[in-house]
Structure 1
Amino acid sequence: MGEVINLRLARKQRARAEASTRADQNRRLFGRTAAEKAAEAVVKARVEATLDGAKLDSPKPGKP
């Protein structure tokens, strides 16, 4: 005779394993270190500053 298993526990264990696999895949796809995020923020801030400095002043409405 085979070993008796609790199907509820087996389903939960399988779901945990699948969730763990999915989480590992997401960490590989989307995970970035804090240093990478900070470096990207610095680059983004530099680009924003450059663009803001290059804007032309538009005339105020009502003033010729």
Structure 2
Amino acid sequence: MADAPINLNRYRKARARAEAKREADENAVRFGRKKAERERARAEAERIARALDGQQRDE
């Protein structure tokens, strides 16, 4: 005898839930930072860029 029948509606809904969770996790990584964290990261990147520019040798 074959395996038990598969409930296709349950499978389809589970797949849709998994896709929605994957997309939500992606968005949390992309947009999940607070404004202060974004500004701190931007300021740090600017500080590093200024430090590197200041260390360039003149030819």
Q: One fold, TM greater than 0.5?
A: yes
TM-score normalised according to structure 1 size: 0.53
Which moved further from structure 2: 47-56 or 11-20?
A: 11-20
Q: Percent of counterpart pairs with the same letter?
A: 24
Specify every segment of 5 or more residues in structure 1 that has no aligned partner in the other structure, as ranges.
1-5, 59-64
Task: Decide which structure has the larger Cα Rg and report it.
Answer: 1
Query: What do the CA deviations read for 1:18-39 (whole angstroms, capped 9, x no partner)?
Result: 1233345443xx3323431221
TM-score normalised according to structure 2 size: 0.55
- Alignment partner of 2:50: what SS? helix
What does 1:12-51 correspond to in 2, within 5 Å? 12-26=12-26, 27=28, 30=29, 31-51=32-52
Aligned to 2:3: none
Extract structure 1 runs of 4+ deviating beyond 6 A. Answer: none
